[in-house]
Amino acid sequence: MLQCQDVTKTYRTPNGEVKALGDVSLRIDKGQFVAVCGPSGSGKTTLLMTMAAMLRPSAGMVRFEEEDIYGMAGSERAVFRAKNIGFVFQMFHLVPYLNVLENVRLAGGAVGGRDGGRARELLQRLGLQHRMDHRPAQLSTGERQRAAMARALLNRPKLILADEPTGNLDPDSAASVLGHLRDFHRAGGTVVIATHGPAAQELATRTIHLRNGTIERDG
């Protein structure tokens, strides 16, 4: 489904160039639940952003279903992202001035999805039916992450990329969010999760260890 081939990403900083990823090659098949582990600064987020068609690699190629995603035009890539990939971030990234339902529906805007029915259904499934009209600031952190999960699921993505989604959550909320990722995986979806936590690694069908921007272990 997703293939990274000799992906290198270098950032320019005032102190010189920093190599976040160095010649990373991997293949993720449909239906896998992949945990990407490694210490802070090992390149987990950069790898996820590169896979997500959001961060062009300095070298190498990323293919999604055999299509070079960085060969697409910017607007084409934006539509591709909206249709195929769902994101869950550690910091939730909910728009503060929209209510929960609007935040979820926001994901449908870029692909013309104006139907609020699925957004409501997802929020109900994630236990947020009573919070639809609330602003993010009125939710607990666990509820915020579940709202972000609902947003990620709205467009029925093939792949969910989750960047430390439980990093800011209490154990119960973390378990709930991981449970929903597991449900998505069981329904045939593909998940790539960057994580420090053992709980996510236990769920994963495959764990990739990164260190200093390279794959230390894959299996």
Partner 1 sequence: MSMIRMVLKEMWHRKVNFVLAVLAVTTAVAFSVAFFTAAKASERETARLMLSMGYNVHIIAKDADAGAFLLNGIPDKTMPADYLDKLATQQSISYNHLLATLEGRMNWRGMDIVLTGIAPEVCPPGQKKPPMTFQVDPGAVYVGHRIAASLQVKEGQTISLGGKDLKVKKCLSESGGLDDVRMQCNLGDAQEILNQPGRITGIKAVDCLCFEKGDPVAVLRKEIGAILPEAQVLQVKALANARAKQRQMVHGIFALMLPFVVAACAVWIGVLAAINVRDRQQEIGLLRALGYDAGAICLLFLGKALLVGLAGAGVGFLLGTTLGLTYGPGVFEITAKAMIRWEPSLLVFACILAPLFAIVASLIPTMIAITCDPAEALREE
Cα 114 to its chain centre, rounded Å, is 23
Contact yes or no for 110/83 (Cβ under 8 A) = no
87 binds partner 1 (CB under 8 A): yes
102 binds partner 1 (CB under 8 A): yes
- Closer residue to partner 1 in complex, CB, 117/219: 117
Contact yes or no for 180/143 (Cβ under 8 A) = no
- Closer residue to partner 1 in complex, CB, 96/117: 96
Sheet-wide strand order for 67-68: 16-28, 2-13, 59-64, 67-68
- What does DSSP assign to residue 145? H
- Closer residue to partner 1 in complex, CB, 49/200: 49
82 binds partner 1 (CB under 8 A): yes
54 binds partner 1 (CB under 8 A): yes
Return d(Cα 216, Cα 76) in angstroms, integer: 34
Q: Which positions lie near partner 1, rule CB under 8 A?
A: 45-46, 49, 52, 54-55, 74-75, 78-83, 87, 89, 91, 93, 95-98, 102, 105-107, 109-111, 151
